[in-house]
Chains A and B, each alone.
Chain A
Amino acid sequence: AQSVTQPDIHITVSEGASLELRCNYSYGATPYLFWYVQSPGQGLQLLLKYFSGDTLVQGIKGFEAEFKRSQSSFNLRKPSVHWSDAAEYFCAGIAGGTSYGKLTFGQGTILTVHP
């Protein structure tokens, strides 16, 4: 079955520290993958997307993600976290080549940033 899994429910980091949020996928072919961020009381905002080409994808707010086919992963990274990055982060995927359809979301990872 097609799925996206975020192994970490909650991560805490200190401000200024580096961050990596994990995402694993299970699709028959190369999927389209996305990272969204949700601040409290807000909708989901797209951080970045991958659909082909360079495996390292740059997004907004200084985030990047790397697509690793061998590990079926699409981890989100940021070299230095700011307090305003505290939010919930969702990885999502859809079967590649699908021109429309259902995104499958991971369970989300809550990020807490300590001063």
Chain B
Amino acid sequence: DAGVIQSPRHEVTEMGQEVTLRCKPISGHNSLFWYRQTMMRGLELLIYFNNNVPIDDSGMPEDRFSAKMPNASFSTLKIQPSEPRDSAVYFCASSPRRGSPFFGANVLTFGAGSRLTVL
């Protein structure tokens, strides 16, 4: 398996522009998570999906952020309009179907991250 695949790995954009980050989870995993990592705040959970349905988006900072999961193999995180304070590394992670951790539930596999810089 290729693991969790994120794109782009690096994005530099100007304030006000739209940014779309993409994630392909591991095949067979049905939970998907978007995290943001900054020096000041550490790792923050933004939103997570189970079976393509958003379960908890309480971590999404504001309406400028939106996430979708149109199918089991693809998710996007969009920021519109972007601001300098959105600069961070955004991680996508996936985990297997719900059940016992013996079978991997709750064990997150992370992508390599998308480093976003908003000028």
- Measuring CB to CB, which residues of chain A are less than 8 angstroms from any residue of chain B? 32, 34, 36, 42-46, 49, 51, 90, 94, 98-103, 105, 107-108
Would you call B106 and A43 a contact (CB within 8 A)? Answer: no
Alpha-carbon separation in the docked complex, A34 to B105 (Å): 12
A-B contact pairs, 16 of them (CB 8 A): A36-B110, A43-B110, A44-B91, A44-B93, A46-B107, A46-B108, A49-B107, A90-B43, A100-B50, A100-B105, A101-B48, A102-B48, A102-B56, A103-B45, A103-B108, A107-B42
Alpha-carbon separation in the docked complex, A94 to B20 (Å): 29
Per the 8 Å Cβ criterion, residues 71-119 of B in contact with A are 91, 93, 95, 98-102, 105-113
Specify the chain A residue showing the minimal Cβ separation from B4: A43
Would you call A94 and B106 a contact (CB within 8 A)? Answer: yes
Would you call B101 and A49 a contact (CB within 8 A)? Answer: yes
Knowing A103-B45, A105-B43, A108-B42 are in contact, say whether A98-B110 is a contact too (CB < 8 A): no
10 further contact pairs, Cβ within 8 A, besides A49-B101, A99-B100: A43-B112, A44-B91, A45-B110, A51-B100, A51-B102, A99-B99, A100-B105, A105-B42, A105-B43, A108-B42
Least Cβ distance of A46 to chain B in Å?
A: 6
Would you call A44 and B110 a contact (CB within 8 A)? Answer: yes
Q: Tell which of A32, A36, A43, A108 touches B113, judged by Cβ atoms closer than 8 Å.
A: A43
Specify the chain B residue showing the minimal Cβ separation from A90: B43
Q: Which residues of chain A are within 8 angstroms of B106 by Cβ–Cβ distance?
A: 32, 94, 98-101, 103
Specify the chain B residue showing the minimal Cβ separation from A100: B98
Knowing A42-B112, A49-B101, A107-B42 are in contact, say whether A100-B95 is a contact too (CB < 8 A): yes
Would you call B31 and A100 a contact (CB within 8 A)? Answer: yes
Alpha-carbon separation in the docked complex, A89 to B91 (Å): 16
Which 5 pairs of residues, A with B, have the shortest CB-CB distance?
Answer: A99-B98, A43-B110, A51-B101, A44-B110, A105-B43
